[in-house]
Structure 1
């Protein structure tokens, strides 16, 4: 027959509910365990959250002082609480709480096992993964997800955390500096881009000193070209000079007269004024002689070529060179360079810009505008014909106060003048001037295309979509062109849209259309601030004027938004060095 016996009851005659510790058996005496308050809504721990049954990654919990409602974001099991009041029982009094230590920095994983096939070659990362968590892509590596990781929320800045194949490798790609930093150089200053972006200086209209060269009329028929009436780009044999500042005979004469404090060209100055937009490396050689500063470029340096999709999310890349410290590493350099590599695209874009400017002017059917003086770089021994080019030497006052004498003399360039009645006379007086540039399309399916639409299908009907994509992928290049046009006082800037005749052939091109914009209006469209650019120039000028006489080089870090000022020997970049100091040209720049 079933029976039931009562358990022993330990009475507490001293008062209160429950037995006293003196009446408890020895096996139940846990005197050293502190009391920890708890509630049913408490989490067991960050590493094991079995209570989260939310389906949309959000849930509302009651807790904290005053039983305030608090939102949490879970994203399935493993979710964590957002910033806010702590839930009841999770305070500092808990002796059982698990405290997470950020130790992933020293953690690495190498997995050579083959990955199972995944749908579309993507992996899901939830809403970016837990804090400090990792998500894998085809077992080839590891990347951080979630807030504080390398990827944005959801990975690739998209809700849902979808990442593409080999996207983990994009953050590991490094560029080489545009100039080899010698150990003998001393770094004087380091300036981050976010500091440059805060500078402002309003500058008045410039004073024109003199003009040189000959200008041809712009051919307006190029404004009427459409994708249905495309015109082939033809190579034209012309000479155009891009002499650095110190070698300019006109600037040498002006410097001898103490015309200004700083001397530069519009190409060099535009790079400095648009520095916060730049991604590729560059360098400017600065020479101080007395109270004068000369901003120079190196021969064969980054200023002689045009970049392509520099600001794209995944810009064109050059093949990886072999590692000299690892004899087994042969790199990824193919025997034949790809036509869509960064260096190849840069040379192609430079070729397109030069020939489009030579081709789109009228050399015979319209009179040429001869400026005040002939081309200062064209010698009597030259036999090849000159390109249409005019040089305007202008002085800008960078003084903050009336008593401050800080002026910069800039050699600016224009490419043509607007034809019509009075066009030649107007060009001689500095009006109706035109600058000519060209954007190029290579292969929409190639790496580095930046999601550009098909120009032949979109230019006529949806030009805005093409322009918006180019403004995103080539923000720095377009900003520099616009600043150069504003510095030169050009009334219009002609931008040609030029594509390959065949995506696999980089030697034949066609002109699809030409757009005409006003430089000042286009600067507002691109959000280019001339005041910010002048503030950068003035800050660099003040920094260099504090230094003693000598030679310096301003270098943009190849992989960080930082510029650095180095002091270099006077023989640097002149070919007179014995230690091999020189430059290493970066592809795509």
Structure 2
């Protein structure tokens, strides 16, 4: 019968183990070899307690052919330098291990960078000028296709000269805020556009309070204007008032007689309702009085008095570069900067409204213009002010009423011989080939034949501006909107313009085509109004972040917005002293 007998271990006082001393273990465990190890330790061979540590390590390193590389020797739990016989060594077969992929891949017709270099191009496209042919342009080397039918290798390949797809590596454009945030400003609230886009509030038709001013009749002859019968845009001197909310005497009178808590103009209200479409920075001054009434005002010199151009384009206009080395480029692009285009668009829109009305036929509203005084010598422009009240209440226990001053530009006689109120707006073309044109087509060649494509491009590039036009017309209760298409007489001259055509638009239909959600707009207005109502008495600024889709509400000093007037008075005093 087979049997197993433990080997005789010789005691050694220099080593640690069961046989290292006579008193280390009881006599019944004296001849049993022992070494502590964990379950996950790898035991490679039977322990030899008499083997020297140096000899075992040298043998292991010599076997693996990796002398002096400590990472190839992994000591296990419970082993020491003296008992390295327990160490596990990686075999040489693991170094040659590799994964084999048997899936088939379609062979590329275009050679890579290395292949094209080895082949020297395809069909004579290679050579020193090609620098690897088409494959090189993939890596942004700017290499050309090489000589093909006599074409030189300096020509850029497909995508050559610009790295990446859709210019993802293009540096992000940094814009400045419409107003500088002061160090003593206190941030009250911050809301991103994602949250604003989820708000909803249904609002009923408004209640008319009063109307002021006089309107001229629209000249129907401009309906027949085309590119071939274009008319020059004239500069007409007329007076048109657009005071802010707090400076309006009619709003002050209404606020003293009614219980409405919120007051603003149609331009401010339309901007808030379309705020999620805005890209450029804007700011609104909010003032809460001691009796809990809130006034939304525009800032003197702020963005409300000017129209933007191609604000929503994928590549909007750029500011002129600074520095002496960029003087030539700045001079060439001075006409097409965002600020210059904004001034031009405002000038064009105002003069277009003055020109296309017939001043002989006047329609007077209930009251005369409240801002015109007898001392004025220049004639008034066609404009009517309608004061209307909207009910923003969501609960009967918390009534919220909003008073708005809306503006109408002219009137026309409808098919039923009734007077219809209209608003007059314009779109302007500066240069279809200039930077910032947003892929717009040449109006002189496409406006008459493909007006739908022209309007669709403008809806994309000027989504925020056109949405505000539609909402302002709806707030004023206008029946129609007259839209003019005005272009420069010369792309290099911003002082002369030509009317290329006009079109009639229904404000509600235009809002539907542009996916303007009025319920969402009223929800935004109610949310901001609630923030102002809950705030303490004082002055606040609602600021759109210039580089993020975020609006912030700050508490500002009581004299904010008055520095410009004080500065102007100081300058006048200094001039007089001089």
Q: Name the TM-score, length of structure 2 as normaliser.
A: 0.72
Report deviation, 1:441: 0.5
Secondary structure of 1:285's match? strand
Which residue in the other structure is 1:552 paired with?
A: 540
CA contact (8 A) 2:178 2:303 kept: yes
Distance (whole Å) between structure 2 residues aligned to residue 204 and residue 33 of structure 1: 81
CA contact (8 A) 2:474 2:507 kept: yes
Report deviation, 1:259: 4.1
Which residue in the other structure is 1:218 paired with?
A: 218
Q: 1:402 aligns with which of 382, 396, 406?
A: 396
34-43 vs 261-270, which moves further = 34-43
Task: Describe the shift of the 1:569–1:118 C-alpha distance in structure 2 as closer, same or farther (beyond 3 A).
Answer: farther
Task: Describe the shift of the 1:36–1:162 C-alpha distance in structure 2 as closer, same or farther (beyond 3 A).
Answer: same
Report deviation, 1:458: 0.9
1:46-195 correspondence runs (5 A): 54-55=106-107, 124-125=137-138, 136=140, 161-162=164-165, 168-169=169-170, 171-195=171-195
1:469-484 correspondence runs (5 A): 469-484=457-472
CA contact (8 A) 2:321 2:330 kept: no
Distance (whole Å) between structure 2 residues aligned to residue 381 and residue 118 of structure 1: 77
304-313 vs 330-339, which moves further = 330-339
299-308 vs 33-42, which moves further = 33-42
Distance (whole Å) between structure 2 residues aligned to residue 462 and residue 486 of structure 1: 28
Task: Describe the shift of the 1:36–1:520 C-alpha distance in structure 2 as closer, same or farther (beyond 3 A).
Answer: farther
Report deviation, 1:37: 12
Report deviation, 1:329: 9.4
Which residue in the other structure is 1:393 paired with?
A: 387
Report deviation, 1:300: 1.1
Distance (whole Å) between structure 2 residues aligned to residue 555 and residue 120 of structure 1: 52
Task: Describe the shift of the 1:409–1:161 C-alpha distance in structure 2 as closer, same or farther (beyond 3 A).
Answer: same
Distance (whole Å) between structure 1 residues aligned to residue 107 and residue 553 of structure 2: 54
Secondary structure of 2:334's match? coil
Distance (whole Å) between structure 1 residues aligned to residue 131 and residue 212 of structure 2: 64
Q: 2:443 aligns with which of 435, 455, 474?
A: 455
Distance (whole Å) between structure 2 residues aligned to residue 362 and residue 412 of structure 1: 22
Task: Describe the shift of the 1:370–1:571 C-alpha distance in structure 2 as closer, same or farther (beyond 3 A).
Answer: same
Which residue in the other structure is 1:40 paired with?
A: 99
Task: Describe the shift of the 1:252–1:32 C-alpha distance in structure 2 as closer, same or farther (beyond 3 A).
Answer: farther
Secondary structure of 1:531's match? helix
Which residue in the other structure is 2:121 paired with?
A: none
Which residue in the other structure is 2:285 paired with?
A: 285
Report deviation, 1:460: 1.0
Report deviation, 1:161: 4.8
Secondary structure of 2:336's match? coil
Q: Which has the larger radius of gyration?
A: 2
> Are positions 1:498 and 2:486 aligned together?
yes
Report deviation, 1:32: 3.9
Q: Kindly report the root-mean-square deviation, in angstroms, between the aligned alpha carbons of the 2 structures.
A: 3.7
Which residue in the other structure is 1:94 paired with?
A: none
Report deviation, 1:498: 0.5
Distance (whole Å) between structure 2 residues aligned to residue 209 and residue 119 of structure 1: 75
Distance (whole Å) between structure 2 residues aligned to residue 218 and residue 118 of structure 1: 65
Secondary structure of 1:477's match? helix
Q: Name the TM-score, length of structure 1 as normaliser.
A: 0.71
Secondary structure of 1:227's match? coil
Report deviation, 1:419: 2.5
* Offset from partner CA, 1:503-531 (integer Å, 9 cap, x none): 11111111111011100011000000111
Distance (whole Å) between structure 2 residues aligned to residue 42 and residue 317 of structure 1: 51
Distance (whole Å) between structure 1 residues aligned to residue 174 and residue 447 of structure 2: 34
What are structure 1's unaligned runs of at least 5 residues?
A: 1-19, 44-50, 58-74, 78-115, 126-134, 140-153, 323-327, 581-589
Q: 2:552 aligns with which of 556, 564, 575?
A: 564
What are structure 2's unaligned runs of at least 5 residues?
A: 1-42, 47-55, 65-72, 74-87, 114-128, 144-157, 569-578
Report deviation, 1:381: 0.8
Distance (whole Å) between structure 2 residues aligned to residue 282 and residue 168 of structure 1: 28
Secondary structure of 2:276's match? helix
Task: Describe the shift of the 1:136–1:558 C-alpha distance in structure 2 as closer, same or farther (beyond 3 A).
Answer: farther
Distance (whole Å) between structure 2 residues aligned to residue 573 and residue 121 of structure 1: 59
1:271-310 correspondence runs (5 A): 271-289=271-289, 290-310=291-311
CA contact (8 A) 1:554 1:563 kept: yes
Q: 2:336 aligns with which of 321, 334, 340?
A: 340
* Offset from partner CA, 1:544-566 (integer Å, 9 cap, x none): 11110000000001111111100
Task: Describe the shift of the 1:527–1:186 C-alpha distance in structure 2 as closer, same or farther (beyond 3 A).
Answer: same
Distance (whole Å) between structure 1 residues aligned to residue 98 and residue 133 of structure 2: 45
* Offset from partner CA, 1:45-97 (integer Å, 9 cap, x none): xxxxxx9965579xxxxxxxxxxxxxxxxx989xxxxxxxxxxxxxxxxxxxx
Report deviation, 1:320: 3.8
CA contact (8 A) 1:124 1:163 kept: no
Which residue in the other structure is 2:562 paired with?
A: 574
CA contact (8 A) 1:199 1:536 kept: yes
Task: Describe the shift of the 1:119–1:37 C-alpha distance in structure 2 as closer, same or farther (beyond 3 A).
Answer: closer
Task: Describe the shift of the 1:183–1:460 C-alpha distance in structure 2 as closer, same or farther (beyond 3 A).
Answer: same
* Offset from partner CA, 1:13-43 (integer Å, 9 cap, x none): xxxxxxx966998554673449899773469
| Higher helix proportion (structure 1 or 2) | 2
* Offset from partner CA, 1:320-361 (integer Å, 9 cap, x none): 456xxxxx9989984687111111111110010000000011
